[in-house]
Amino acid sequence: MKYPRPMIAAAVLLTAVPLGAFANEQANPEAEKATMLRSQEAIKDYATTLKAALQTAMKAGGPMAAIPVCHTEAPKIAKEISAKYGLEIHRTSLKPRATPPTAWEKVVLEQFAAEKAAGKPISELVWHTVVEEQGKPSLRLMKAIPTDEVCLTCHGTEVQPAVLEKIRSLYPKDEAIGYQKGDIRGAFSVTAAIHP
């Protein structure tokens, strides 16, 4: 039997949030707020650092030089930001190049797509929840990433053959092309333990 998508989405979201009572009774609202602020700060920091690295590489050697930078620097910067803020941050997408979504990330990305289709601006597509992980409350936060003009060089509909070849050699299963300006390219995803 085939369930309609929204029902599946609702079911997965509910199973991902076993915490209702736990969160209210045990998670300290102050600690949760502090974790939220720390996570939002980490997203801002990652976004800014990535954009700067991309711009520098593009200016220095065009897309052919910038691809290896994205390939090695993006995961490295994610690790550094994760360590700096004491959480786990990465990017993911429904059409991934490097990082396919987990089950719950996919549900959220699909929810973002539906909200955008209904007219919500990408800048407002943010989602969070508190779950229990290994007996402790943990914040999950996602924020959508828009596709700008500069992204089209490597994610657009008319990627230069040499650029595409380079991308395909590094990511044989790449799905992250065919985007247009204003599309949702993916999202930042943070998981952060809430320390009481």
Count, residues near ligand HEC per rule CB under 6 A: 26
Select 10 or 113, whichever has its Cβ closest to ligand HEC. Answer: 113
Determine the angle formed by the axes of helices 29-85 and 161-170, rounding to 10 degrees: 100
Task: Measure the CA–CA gap between 151 and 107, rounded to whole angstroms.
Answer: 24
What whole-number distance in Å separates Cα of residue 54 and Cα of residue 155? 14
Secondary-structure breakdown of the chain: helix, strand, coil percentages, each rounded to the nearest 5: 55, 15, 25
Tell the residue number behind the tokens 């209210």, with chain if given. 24
User: 130: closest CA among 23, 34, 5?
Assistant: 23
Q: Which of 19, 43, 74, 194 binds ligand HEC (CB under 6 A)?
A: 74
In whole angstroms, how close is the CB of 6 to ligand HEC at the nearest point? Answer: 25
Q: By CB under 6 A, name the one of 38, 97, 116, 143 that touches ligand HEC.
A: 97
* Interface with ligand HEC in residues 120-149 (CB under 6 A): 145, 147-148
176 binds ligand HEC per the rule CB under 6 A: yes
- Cβ 105 to ligand HEC, closest distance in Å? 11
Contact status: 84 vs ligand HEC (CB under 6 A): no
What residues form DSSP beta bridges with 75?
none
Decide: 20 and 131 in contact? Cβ < 8 Å: no
> Which stretches does DSSP call E strand in 120-167?
126-133, 136-146
Shortest distance in whole angstroms from residue 186 CB to ligand HEC = 3
Phi, psi (degrees; rounded to nearest 5) at 86: 65, 50
Which two structure tokens, joined as six digits, stand for 27?
Answer: 């998670």
**Binds ligand HEC (CB under 6 A): choice among 23, 42, 43, 67:** 67
Decide: is 186 part of the binding site for ligand HEC (CB under 6 A). Answer: yes
x-marked contacts with ligand HEC along 4-43 as a string, rule CB under 6 A: ----------------------------------------
Q: Which residues bind ligand HEC (CB under 6 A)?
A: 54, 63, 66-67, 70-71, 74-75, 91-93, 96-99, 145, 147-148, 150-151, 153-155, 176, 185-186
